[in-house]
Chain A
């Protein structure tokens, strides 16, 4: 009998022998969605450069993906990705990182590059907590939740990340949860093909640091909760802000055609050359 090999195994770095994710973590689902999207498009990992920051989600491409990967400092992957994309405009550049990385410490790079509408895919894996450091509150941790740095409950409002990136000017924004692996895979395919800043927020369950400590429950309970709270943009349009408070608006929220930065840079260079010639 021949050895059974997972069809996506060829995308995994040969030196990687095990996963570093906790049992029940949603990041494995996201990992599969990314690789299925790339496989589905008939692409190769050599078509990509992956960039990640610090945190659990940053460990999806680093070290799993057998590709060019830059694992960077906390909050800055999009800024590093900017330089990579400018240097290798024909490669697909994909940033995979968490909500703390991209929205707390790195929030400015997120909105500034959405504004620039530079072609890259940014996957923000939102688990609503700092998992790697042991369950501290994030700008995505719902009000009132007890965490290790908010033992009496969080006292801050949260970011609606997808709305933030839409407002900043990204040309593609989608939001899904780990309970929507097929829809997520399809949106990643679209994001890869998008000429512009393509952002996908993925709610991903963290049963260990979020579920266990906050009493929300196991991975299964968290996924059930995601499903219950998810609502389409069409249905959401009928509800008030108050009614939407605990809901997750899932779907492709924005898909626009607008000037993309690399194209504008190309025109600028032609102009500069023309002026001196």
Chain B
């Protein structure tokens, strides 16, 4: 290792390590976390690599303080991230809501494991999919990306930082133990080929009283600390200037709607989808590690002459319902595949069921990825 921020080259690399390298390539300067299987390799790599480029990783007393420190560092102007698994996310949820409420760019990597509760740490399960969207209290929108390979652990981490900075919001990487621990080829491009973004900030010297630093659907400039902006940052209901308002319901309505609309207004730019369903009557919808099995089964099905295709969600949140609806219009059967008991399935069904038959195929055992043979059997069954 040469100590450079971007380790350009071709590697045989673990997904979790690729995630850490993606963070560095995106410009991450600060990370805080707490040890947890199966996410530790990300933290270990960041602890080794960040100080080499002037940043640092800190092991905190718990996940609550980890996300708090990340939010604090982001307000200090640093690109920041944390990494954990389901139990850690459960502890972070209150402060994730805080980060959303005061519009803080940061990246949260969840390498999902067997759950509920302490569950089975080394097994990959897509068990926290809805938690990312609905776990913290109140109405809010979140951005979540689902990588399915070590290469995407790198690529999606870079995208996650860019989205976080562009929309001033926490962005989830919803990986799992399979993708995190998988080793495959990872290509890290030249630094100038990696697009990185940084948040808008107010013009230096702007009169602090005139800075509208919050609640703009087109993303307000962030009055980061230490620049004389005299920012009043409170997670209590506030107005565009950051001024607390705890008495006027219309202020609360504005607070909720602006935060949500900031994400929803830009849904099209945020949505990343892989579509391979042209002319298909049967469409397999999946994300993450499961999408690999879906692609394999679809290829096999087509060899057998069955018109089967795939739709893979990369952006799961905000939920790209319009894309599902559009796909379903041309399909007869939609088969949803997830490595859980059907977390995104109801969302997909709500959009697709008007035009197509929608069914759910779980793995034989939760914690296994669907066997392509099982998927193929299901494809043959619905194609009859």
Residues of A whose CB lies within 8 Å of any CB of B are 13-15, 45-46, 49, 51, 62-63, 66-73, 76, 79-88, 91, 108-109, 112, 265, 268-269, 271-273, 276-277
Name the residue of chain A whose CB is nearest to the CB of B226. A88
Nearest chain B CB to A37 CB, angstrom units: 19
Chain B residues with CB under 8 Å of A271's CB are: 51
Given A71-B236, A87-B30, check contact A276 B1 (CB 8 Å): yes
State A268–B230 Cα separation when bound (angstroms). 32
| B235-250 interface with A by 8 A CB criterion | 235-236, 241, 243-244
- Collect the chain A residues with CB atoms within 8 Å of residue B64's CB: 76, 79
Can you name 19 A-B pairs with beta carbons within 8 Å? Answer: A13-B230, A62-B232, A63-B232, A63-B244, A69-B233, A70-B233, A71-B232, A71-B236, A76-B64, A84-B72, A84-B73, A85-B72, A86-B56, A87-B73, A88-B77, A88-B225, A265-B56, A271-B51, A273-B54
Given A51-B72, A269-B51, 9 additional A-B pairs, CB 8 A: A63-B234, A63-B244, A70-B102, A73-B94, A76-B65, A84-B76, A87-B73, A88-B226, A268-B51
How far does the Cβ of A48 sit from chain B's closest Cβ, in whole Å? Answer: 10
Q: Is residue B3 contacting chain A, with contact meaning CB distance below 8 A?
A: yes
Q: Which of B72, B77, B102, B228 contacts A81 (CB 8 A)?
A: B72
B interface majority secondary structure: mixed
- Which residues of chain A come closer than 8 Å to B233, judged between CB atoms? 68-71
4 interchain residue pairs of minimum CB distance: A87-B76, A83-B72, A276-B3, A272-B51
B243:A84 contact, CB within 8 angstroms: no
Beta-carbon nearest neighbor of B78 in chain A: A87
- Is B154 positioned at the interface, with any CB of A under 8 Å from its CB? no
Closest residue on chain A to residue B66 by CB atoms: A79
Task: Say yes or no: is B317 at the interface (Cβ < 8 Å to chain A).
Answer: no
The answer to whether B76 and A88 have CB atoms under 8 Å apart is: yes
Q: Are A268 and B56 within 8 A (Cβ)?
A: yes
B53 to chain A, nearest CB (A): 8
How would residues 49 to 60 of chain B score, 1 for a CB under 8 Å from any chain A CB and 0 otherwise? Answer: 001101010101
By the criterion CB–CB under 8 Å, are B225 and A15 in contact? no
A76 to B241 alpha-carbon distance, docked (Å): 24
Q: Does B132 make an interface contact (CB < 8 A)?
A: no
Question: Out of A62, A82, A88, which one reaches B68, CB within 8 Å?
Answer: A82
Give the most central of A71, A87, A112: most B CB within 10 Å: A87
Beta-carbon contact of A71 and B61 below 8 Å: no
Please pick, from B2, B52, B60, B235, the residue contacting A72 in the complex, using a CB distance under 8 A: B235
The reply to whether B30 and A79 form a contact with Cβ atoms under 8 Å apart is no
B70 in the interface, Cβ–Cβ < 8 Å?
A: yes
| Smallest CB separation, B209 vs chain A (Å) | 6
**Distance of B71 from chain A, by nearest CB (Å):** 6
Contact string against A for B residues 65-92, beta-carbon threshold 8 Å, 1 for contact and 0 otherwise: 1001111111111101000000000000
B62 proximal to A (CB < 8 A) = yes
Q: A87 vs B62: C-alpha distance in the bound complex, in angstroms?
A: 20
